[in-house]
């Protein structure tokens, strides 16, 4: 195995296909630990992981915390509402203060795209991007790849449709990159108002109707309507119309390939982008995505916490 | 920062055991295990990677012994339990651990090819305990080359060889794509 050559994980854009596969393989091994009676190994004993979440999150933060604890690292959680950023501290000052406490890994979620890159330049700790603005969410893409690989046996050669608010979705961006690197064909379906300019350059096919996008797709990934980022931008007339044309309801589901699996990064707006019957149905692998999230994050902490990568 | 570790080349010095000697040693060890644990179904747990085929062979020998209960097999990967995992070496590959349904209350025999510092066995004991509380844990090694750094003793030894720290012992196994044999190698200064 070639050593992992990165000091930080800031985005899928920095990873090669081989490195992604290396992370997925490690993740499968680490998932086995979650099945044991004693769900803990001593590997990262004495390492400190700071989860700095300056934007709301339960799934990702809990997943990172559990991943750290199963590897025996000490995990400290800082959330937006309890951090000094509410008192006006700048991100740089926050980062420097955290660095002064000598953490080994800082996991950062931030509303500003590029925030993890910024602090990576100012701290010695390894930085993991847990979602930055509308830029990237690499660990979500990795866990999506892990889930697809488990259910379909491969990623290479599959057709994957990602539907919904692509413009505001860092998940979509990271997924397009990761799936593309692994050899999948990615289709994006969204109203034109929700497709960023130049998205085709990432190598995905763009559809402005959902039916042809999900027709024949092996995997359909629904994205959340991000109400907190829309703030009255008027990107679609109303939720009901959006749901009818770009939501995966029971009528739309008749276009699905018989063995297509359904994914969603969560949290789900039930009844808007995804019908509850489908979210809880046999095609849904949504909870499996959450399970794989722990494995993928354990793999990354293992690869990055030692600080042994060349730099 | 990565600590540079200079690997000096290893040169083969002599063969410590050939295929026949290895088979004899393993057969004797199998008999000793049955003698020490009569009427008991052992769990033979090979330490990855060299110990796994040896555990399988030991099981084969035990099954040939009249009246002996067939042991169960397991494999353990100690990577995540190593004490040198962040010593600046490239991250080792993590293998899987597969144990029979439960080791609680059973007699487990850890099987490894070479016993040297004892650190691998320490890690294997820690890993094993995370899966339950065995009644007893024993240790079987094909070759003991000395230089222990921890208070660890084998219960079954195929052969003992006095070595220097400059030397290295390699167990070649047919299962791992080589001809059976135990080799003594020496690190040569360039």
Question: For the segment A156-207, what is each residue's pLDDT rounded down to a tens digit?
Answer: 999 999 999 998 899 999 999 999 999 999 999 999 888 888 888 888 999 9
Classified as helix, coil or strand, A306 is coil
Domain boundaries of chain B, sorted by first residue: 20-81+97-161
Whether A36 has its CB under 8 Å from any CB of chain B: the answer is: yes
Q: What is the mean pLDDT of chain A?
A: 91
| Model confidence at B4: pLDDT above 60 | no
Mean pLDDT of B136-149: 96
Residue B69 or A218, more confident: A218
* Of A226, A225, A180, nearest in space to A205 by CA: A180
Torsion of CA A273, A276, A279, A282, to 10 degrees: -140
How does residue B7 score in pLDDT terms, banded at 50, 70 and 90?
low
Q: What is the pLDDT of residue A1?
A: 52
My answer on whether A219 and A264 are in the same domain is yes
Q: Which helix (H) or strand (E) holds A254?
A: none
Residue A311: predicted pLDDT: 36
What's the rounded Cα separation, in Å, for the pair A71 and A75?
10
- For residues B163-178, give the mean pLDDT: 91
Per the structure, the complete domain to which residue A48 belongs is given by 12-137+290-305
Indicate if A123 and A253 belong to the same structural domain. Answer: no
B132 interaction partners in chain A (CB closer than 8 Å): 37
- Residue A219 in domain: yes
Token digits for A307?
A: 């600080």
Looking at residue B1, its pLDDT comes to 33
Buried b (16+ CB within 10 A) or exposed e, A103-139: bbbbbbbbeeeebbbbbbeebebbbbbbbbbbbbbbb
Report whether pLDDT(A236) > 90: no
Of B86, B93, B132, the CB nearest to A306: B86
Q: Tell me, yes or no, whether A149 and A266 share the same domain.
A: yes
Distance CA B56, CA A207 (A): 56
pLDDT digits (tens, 9 = 90+) for A10-20: 999 999 999 99
Put simply, the answer to whether A308 touches B88 (Cβ < 8 Å) is yes
pLDDT mean over B100-105: 89
DSSP state of B91: P
Q: Nearest Cα to A133, choosing from A168, A98, A161?
A: A168
Answer whether A311 sits within 8 Å of B97, measured CB to CB.
Answer: no
Q: How far apart are the first and last CA of chain A?
A: 19
Q: Do both A38 and A144 map to the same domain? A: no
**CATH number, domain with residue A252:** 3.40.50.1370
For an interface test with B, give the residue of A306, A310, A311 to mutate (most B CBs within 10 A).
A306
pTM of the model: 0.86
Indicate whether A176 and A258 sit together in one domain: yes
Q: 3-state class of A152 per DSSP?
A: helix
Contact between residue A237 and residue A178 where contact means Cβ atoms under 8 Å apart? no
Local structure of residue A33 (DSSP, 8 states): H
Residue A310 lies in a domain: no
Q: B72 — contact with chain A (CB < 8 Å)?
A: no
Confidence of residue A147 (pLDDT cuts 50, 70, 90): very high
Tell me what pLDDT residue A307 has.
Answer: 53
Does A130 have pLDDT greater than 90?
A: yes
Distance between CA atoms of residues A129 and A143, nearest Å = 14
CB of A226 closer than 8 Å to CB of A252: no
For residues A8 and A305, what is the distance between their CA atoms, to the nearest angstrom? Answer: 10
Query: What does the pLDDT read at residue A277?
Result: 96
Which of B80, B86, B91 is facing A4, going by the closest CB pair?
Answer: B91
CB contact residues (below 8 A), chain A span 151-180, against chain B: none
Six-digit token string for B126: 């820690």
pLDDT in tens, A287-298: 999 999 999 999
Per-residue pLDDT at B89? 55
Q: Is residue A2 part of a domain?
A: no
- DSSP strand E in A54-169: where? 74-79, 105-110, 126-132, 159-163
What residues of chain A lie within 8 A of the CB of B1, using their CB? 307, 311
- A130 part of a folded domain: yes
| Residues A147 and A263: beta-carbon distance below 8 Å | yes
Please report the pLDDT score of residue B176 as a whole number.
84
Q: How confident is the model at residue A80, as a pLDDT?
A: 78
Interface test with A, best of B100, B123, B130 (most A CBs within 10 A): B130
Confidence label for B106 from pLDDT (cuts 50, 70 and 90): very high
Which residue in this structure is represented by tokens 């995370």? B130
Is the pLDDT score of A135 beyond 50? Answer: yes
Say yes or no to pLDDT of B177 above 90.
no
**How far is residue A111's CA from residue A168's CA, in Å, rounded to a whole number?**
11
Q: Which residue in B86, B87, B78 sits closest to A303, CA to CA? A: B86
Note whether A77 and A155 are same-domain residues.
Answer: no
Residue A228 gets which letter from DSSP?
H
What is the tens place of the pLDDT at every residue in B36-47? 998 889 999 999
Taken in order B122, B124, B125, B126, the sign of the CA dihedral is positive
- Interface probe, candidates A2, A38, A41, A305, chain B, greatest B C-beta count within 10 A: A41
Q: Does pLDDT of A115 surpass 70?
A: yes
**Is A120:A10 a contact under the CB 8 Å cutoff?**
yes
Name the pLDDT band for A89 (thresholds 50, 70, 90). Answer: confident
Which pLDDT band holds residue A58 (cuts at 50, 70, 90)? confident
Question: Distance between CA A110 and CA B82 in Å, rounded?
Answer: 35
- In chain B, the percentage of residues whose pLDDT exceeds 70 is 93
Tell me which of A22, A36, A42 to substitute to probe the interface with B (most B C-beta atoms closer than 10 Å).
Answer: A42
Q: Is residue A248 within 8 Å of A194, Cβ to Cβ?
A: no
| A198-227 tens-digit pLDDT | 888 888 999 999 999 999 999 999 999 877
Q: What is the pLDDT of residue A81?
A: 75
Both A188 and A90 in a single domain?
A: no
Q: Are residues A153 and A99 in the same domain?
A: no
Phi first, then psi, for residue A274 (nearest 5°) are -145, 130
Contacts of A311 in chain B (CB under 8 A): 1
DSSP-derived pairing of the beta strands B107-115 and B43-47: parallel
| B90 in contact with A, Cβ within 8 Å | yes
The residue-averaged pLDDT of B114-141 equals 94
Instruction: Give me the CATH code for the B20-81+97-161 domain, please.
Output: 3.40.50.2020
CA A239 distance to own-chain centroid: 25
Asked if B4 is an interface residue toward chain A (Cβ–Cβ < 8 A), one would say no
Separation between Cα atoms, residue B190 and residue B188, nearest integer Å:
6
Please, which pLDDT band fits residue B3 given cuts at 50, 70 and 90?
very low
What count of other Cβ atoms lies within 10 Å of the Cβ of residue B25?
18
> Over the stretch A240-282, which tens digit does the pLDDT of each residue have?
888 999 999 999 999 999 999 999 998 999 999 999 999 999 9
Cβ–Cβ gap B90/A1 under 8 Å: yes
| A308·B93 Cβ contact <8 A | no
What local confidence, expressed as pLDDT, does residue B84 receive?
A: 80
B92 touches chain A (CB under 8 A): yes
- Report pLDDT for B2: 38
Q: Are residues A299 and A254 in the same domain?
A: no
Q: Is B104 on the interface with A (CB under 8 A)?
A: no
- The DSSP symbol for A104 reads S
| Domain total in chain A | 2
């Amino acid at each position: 195995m070639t050593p992992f050559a990165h000091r930080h994980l800031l985005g899928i854009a920095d990873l090669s296909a081989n490195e992604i596969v290396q992370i997925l393989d490690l993740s499968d091994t680490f998932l086995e630990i979650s099945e044991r009676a004693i769900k803990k190994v001593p590997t990262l004993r004495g390492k400190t992981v700071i989860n700095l979440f300056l934007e709301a999150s339960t799934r990702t933060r809990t997943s990172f915390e559990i991943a750290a604890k199963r590897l025996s690292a000490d995990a400290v959680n800082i959330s937006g509402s309890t951090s000094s950023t509410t008192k006006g501290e700048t991100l740089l000052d926050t980062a420097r203060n955290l660095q002064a406490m000598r953490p080994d890994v800082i996991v950062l979620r931030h509303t500003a795209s590029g925030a993890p890159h910024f602090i990576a330049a100012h701290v010695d700790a390894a930085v993991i991007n847990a979602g930055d603005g509308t830029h990237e969410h690499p660990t979500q893409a990795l866990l999506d790849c892990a889930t697809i690989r488990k259910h379909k046996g491969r990623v290479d050669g599959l057709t994957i449709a990602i539907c919904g608010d692509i413009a505001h979705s860092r998940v979509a961006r990271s997924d397009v990159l990761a799936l593309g690197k692994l050899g999948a064909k990615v289709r994006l379906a969204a109203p034109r108002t929700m497709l960023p300019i130049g998205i085709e350059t990432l190598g995905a096919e763009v559809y402005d109707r959902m039916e042809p996008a999900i027709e024949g797709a092996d995997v359909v990934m629904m994205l959340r309507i991000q109400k907190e980022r829309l703030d009255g931008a008027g990107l679609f007339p109303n939720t009901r119309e959006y749901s009818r044309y770009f939501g995966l309801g029971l009528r739309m589901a008749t276009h699905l390939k018989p063995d297509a699996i359904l994914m969603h990064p969560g949290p789900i707006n039930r009844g808007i982008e995804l019908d509850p019957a489908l979210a809880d149905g046999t095609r849904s692998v949504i909870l499996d995505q959450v399970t794989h999230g722990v494995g993928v994050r354990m793999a990354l902490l293992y690869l990055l916490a030692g600080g042994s990568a060349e730099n | 920062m990565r600590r540079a570790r200079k690997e000096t080349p290893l040169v083969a010095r002599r063969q410590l055991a050939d295929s026949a000697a290895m088979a004899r040693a393993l057969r004797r060890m199998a008999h000793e295990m049955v003698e020490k644990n009569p009427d008991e179904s052992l769990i033979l747990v090979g330490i990855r990677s060299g110990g796994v085929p040896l555990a399988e062979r030991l099981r084969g020998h035990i099954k040939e012994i009249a009246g002996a209960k067939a042991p169960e097999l397991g494999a353990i990967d100690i990577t995540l339990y190593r004490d040198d995992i962040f010593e600046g070496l490239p991250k080792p590959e993590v293998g899987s651990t597969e144990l029979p349904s439960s080791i609680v209350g059973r007699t487990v025999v850890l099987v490894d090819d070479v016993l040297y510092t004892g650190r691998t066995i320490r890690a294997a004991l820690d890993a094993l305990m995370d899966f339950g509380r065995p009644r007893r844990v024993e240790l079987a090694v094909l070759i003991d080359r000395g230089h222990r750094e921890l208070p660890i003793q084998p219960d079954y030894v195929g052969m003992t060889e006095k070595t220097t720290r400059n030397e290295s012992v390699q167990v070649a196994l047919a299962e791992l794509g080589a001809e059976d044999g135990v080799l003594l190698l020496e690190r040569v200064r360039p």
